Amino acid sequence: MTDSASQSAALVRWDLSDLYASPDDPRIAADMASVRVAAAAFQAAYKGRVASLSAAEVARALADFETLQEILGRLGSYAYLDWSTATEDPKRGKLLQQITEFGSEAGTYLVFWDVEYMAVPDATVQAWLAAPETARYRYHLESSRRYQPHILSEAEEHVLMKKSVTGAQAWVRYFDETLGAARFEYEGNRLPEQDVLHKLHDPDREVRRKAHASLTEGLGGLSRSLTYIFNTLLADKATNDELRNYGSWISSRNLSNQISDAAVEALVAAVQRHYPTVQRYYRLKQRLLGLDTLYDYDRYAPVAAAETSVHWDDARRLVTESYTAFHPEMGRITGLFFDNRWIDAAVVPGKRGGAYAASTVPGVHPYVFMNYQGRLRDVQTLAHELGHGVHQYLAREQGVLQADTPLTTAETASVFGEMLVFRRLLDGLTDPKERLALLMGKIDDTIATVFRQISMNRFEAAIHTARREEGELEADRFGELWIATQRELYGDSVTLTDGYARWWSYIPHFLHTPGYVYAYAFGELLVLALYEQYRRQPDGFADHYLDLLRAGGSDLPERIVAKAGVDITRPDFWETGLKLFEAMVDEAEELAR
């Protein structure tokens, strides 16, 4: 890894001025004032009469609602994006909290709509759905009714909305700030979490071992706070699920993802059946690395003697060319992110770890957040987040209420983008050793995306269940459940260290979006099937694929995905992607021979 490659994105900082010029921008106060007026007017115009509205009045009401959500989304997006690059800055934290509290305040004027809409007779709703005036909002009106059994009274919804600001949202922010401010001792230096995690991919085993020890020790020092945060948020979710009459800890997430509990269970079971393939792969990796024992800190070790380093400019070219070759429009949109500074890729102290794409609002555009350190894995992360970005950019035409997709299909474009870049890299190699090194990296990523996420889903299920049945959990109890679910995945192919029992505590998805992680497996296996469809029938596929992205969340996931010729309702659907994963492991074994 060269210093120039790892530092090549040091100046890649985003420009948020399309949202607001700065935290002191007077437009922030002006927009907050306009929302107060508009929200009060919306309540005055429609409260108490939703059931009696004509189809034309419903369409006007939803248009007014969209306008309000556009401004609220702009405010919230700016505050979060600005804060996430400097979580230790109290001024940015104050603005984030101010906007969060304001969003709750504005929401109290609007909550009546959902409560009243759920009480509207089915016959009236069907008449609205059939009217041409509501055509733009038809799927939103239809899909919103799924929440009928879970909406409470208006007074109860008011209370839950108000309390969320000082409840779950506050604890999630505290978790982010705790890890954002944490420093981990490594060879006399105090490094942020992201830098230490980065070293787990180093070719030098001693570097990986020391990074593992550094993270383990640092998490141990934070154990009291992190354990309490987890316990509090698990209890908060249990309370909300009980109040809203959800049957299990995962039911609300599945409802949001527009997928049944049974379908999720089928996905999880299918992936678990293929755990032995993962174990087979790690035995191959152990032989290639020449190790007597493969420890947990060896899982992401590259098999090449020296890992390829990639300058930011080369990463930009590779991703843009891969997207353009698939469809010129995808390449054009990708170029906008680079040319207009819609990406923040620098690694700086206090910046949140990880990567994400923020859709913001349809009236602006998405932004991409990552920590680029010059490895091929970072190139794949760039491709992943720009896949989200292209998806979000194209779906803007659906408007605020229907642009966002369920989490299950939200990962489609991101993982497909990774696949485009991977295949472009692989097709450019002729040396079997180079092909093997790249393929092993892709298998590592697929395991992380599919199998590790399902093992984490099993951990989530275990901790939610244990918190509800046993009460507050000690750190060691979390560790027991973590190790148990990880051993199911790795078997005897990977030796888990004692310190690894603490590694559940830094993963933000468990807190930010409970139940999220299986969506990664859904997206990866869906993309493997989509790519196979593309390989077999390339003519016209790219245009159909862009239609899929443009649809956003304007229809059921299975109907949207069918645009690209894939039927995700088939009982054996998951086996298609899982067999393609097995084929990658077969190819790696053949190249190794």
Specify the CATH number for the domain of residue 396: 1.10.1370.40
- Written as six digits, the tokens of 563 are 């645009």
Specify the CATH number for the domain of residue 35: 1.20.140.70
Domain assignment present for residue 124? The answer is yes
CA distances from 15 to 90, 362, 363, 388, 397 (A): 20, 17, 16, 19, 23
What is the dihedral sign for C-alpha 369, 373, 379, 380? negative
Domain assignment present for residue 144? The answer is yes
Among 149, 166, 183, residue at a domain's last position: 166
Number of domains in the chain: 2
Domain assignment present for residue 14? The answer is no
Domain assignment present for residue 114? The answer is yes
Q: What single DSSP character describes residue 1?
A: -
| pLDDT of 376 | 82
Among 137, 166, 195, residue at a domain's last position: 166
- Written as six digits, the tokens of 462 are 């275990």
Domain assignment present for residue 455? The answer is no
| pLDDT of 417 | 94
| pLDDT of 306 | 59
Q: How far is residue 367's CA from residue 416's CA, in Å, rounded to a whole number?
A: 19
DSSP string, 367-395: EEE----SBHHHHHHHHHHHHHHHHHHHH
| pLDDT of 338 | 98
Using 70 as the pLDDT threshold, list the residues of the chain that sit under it.
Answer: 1-3, 305-307
Place of tokens 């009243």: 116
The gap from C-alpha 323 to its chain's centroid, in whole angstroms, comes to 21
Angle between helices 261-273 and 518-536 (to 10 degrees): 70
Strands (E), 419-534: none
Domain assignment present for residue 257? The answer is no
Among 115, 134, 166, residue at a domain's last position: 166
Q: How far is residue 189's CA from residue 499's CA, in Å, rounded to a whole number?
A: 21
Q: Tell me the residue range of the domain where 522 lies.
A: 312-432+518-563
Q: How far is residue 2's CA from residue 6's CA, in Å, rounded to a whole number?
A: 6
CA distances from 130 to 66, 140, 141, 430, 535 (A): 21, 13, 11, 58, 40
Report the DSSP beta bridge partners of residue 343: 368
Domain assignment present for residue 296? The answer is no
Say if residues 432 and 418 touch (Cβ distance below 8 Å).
no
| pLDDT of 431 | 85
* Residue in 126, 213, 215, 222 with CA at minimum distance from that of residue 176: 222
Half-sphere exposure at residue 35, Cβ-oriented, CA atoms within 13 angstroms: 27
Domain assignment present for residue 450? The answer is no
Place of tokens 């973590």: 482
Q: How far is residue 232's CA from residue 511's CA, in Å, rounded to a whole number?
A: 10
| pLDDT of 581 | 94
Give every CB contact of residue 339 below 8 A, 6+ residues apart in sequence: none
Say if residues 351 and 87 touch (Cβ distance below 8 Å).
yes
- Burial class of residue 27, CB neighbours in 10 A (0-12, 13-18, 19+): middle
| pLDDT of 171 | 95
| pLDDT of 562 | 86
* Residue in 109, 118, 83, 111 with CA at minimum distance from that of residue 97: 83
